[in-house]
Amino acid sequence: MGYVVTGATGQLGGLVVDGLLAAGVPADRIAAVVRDEHKAARLRDLGVELRVADYDDAGAMRTVFRTGDRVLLVSASEPGRREPQHRNVIEAARAADVALLAYTSILGGPDADFILAADHKATEQVILDSGVPYTLLRNGFYHEVYTDTIPQILERGAVTASAGDGRLATAARADYAAAAVAVLTGQGHEGKAYELSGDTAWSFADFAAELSKQTGREIAYHPLTTDEHRNTLLQAGLPEPVADLVADIDRAIERGLLARTSEDLRHLTGRPATTLADAIATALKG
């Protein structure tokens, strides 16, 4: 039995590989699926096997799995193209008769009715239809989606969003990686869908207040309308479909679709989720 991580040169995939090694899985039992082996030198140096394939290449994907493998399918990065890309991976996993296919989906699963969730919901259905033993890891948003914008927030002195007073239950990327490692290395997760989120939901006003507290600067929250937000994104050079997607995420936050908290993440990792305050502190340290 081997452990296979797709998208392994990405931030989440890399953390999962590191987590498998830290959990005591021998490097020669871990395979990293990558598009460019030159970008995977770190993984090769760890002794991990590299298997080169692109989600778009169904033929190449059919070469990367072995019977009995336990696989993490890290979702592709381009909304609108992900479902057919994921289908190639799922079909390859089915043909290889893998022991488990874990997929990084989105918080709420079928209840997540916003643009970003569409590919995830379609992928979940493909997995269910495939007959492959599965675990759905319905990840909430990462703290890092927001803490990575701190330099820009400090530059303008304000947090801006069109989510109103909506709240979201984020966790650190490392928390979600630890949950994936627990599923890959554990037992009894087949056929389960885990709702993975932070322990506490926060608002953008909370984010601004915590950033003010930690920096000693007055950082305000300036709520925008959806149209104002979209126009700001367009003026910043984002393509129209991307601007629509980002503004739609904030509408989903305002509607409470990303505020769900669950014990699943804590249960899988055996520890509390990283707090927003700790994530902000880490980001400020650089």
N-terminal to C-terminal alpha carbon distance within the chain: 39
Q: Is residue 80 pLDDT above 90, yes or no? A: no
* pLDDT tens-digit map of 132-174: 999 999 999 999 999 999 999 999 999 999 999 999 999 999 9
Q: Specify the pLDDT at position 63.
A: 96
Q: What is the pLDDT of residue 91?
A: 98
Is the pLDDT reported for residue 259 higher than 90? Answer: yes
Is residue 137 within 8 Å of 102, Cβ to Cβ?
yes
pLDDT at res. 243: 96
In percent, the amount of the chain with pLDDT more than 90 equals 98
Please give the average per-residue pLDDT across 96-121, as a whole number: 97
Quick one: pLDDT at residue 197?
A: 98
Higher-scoring residue by pLDDT: 1, 199: 199
Domain ranges, ordered by start, for the chain: 3-140+172-197+261-273
So what's the pLDDT on residue 78?
Answer: 86
| 3-140+172-197+261-273 CATH fold | Rossmann fold (3.40.50)
pLDDT number for residue 152 = 95
| Mean pLDDT for the stretch of residues 88-116 | 97
Contacts of 234 (CB under 8 A, 6+ apart): 240, 243
pLDDT higher than 90, residue 228: yes
From the CB of residue 255, how many other CB atoms can be counted at a distance below 10 Å? 14
pLDDT of residue 250 exceeding 90, the answer is: yes
Asked if 138 contacts 102 with a C-beta cutoff of 8 angstroms, the reply is no
DSSP-derived 3-state class of residue 49: strand
Query: 51 pairs with which residues across the strands?
Result: 33
Q: Tell me what the mean pLDDT of segment 29-54 comes to.
A: 96
Instruction: Give residue 79's pLDDT band: very low, low, confident or very high (50, 70, 90).
Output: confident
Q: Which residues contact 103 (CB under 8 A, 6 or more apart)?
A: 72, 73, 75, 86, 123, 124, 127, 134, 135, 136, 137
Predicted structure pTM score: 0.96
Q: pLDDT category, 176, cuts 50, 70, 90?
A: very high
Conformation bin of residue 67: beta by default, left when phi > 0, alpha when psi is -120 to 50: beta
**pLDDT in the model for residue 268:** 98
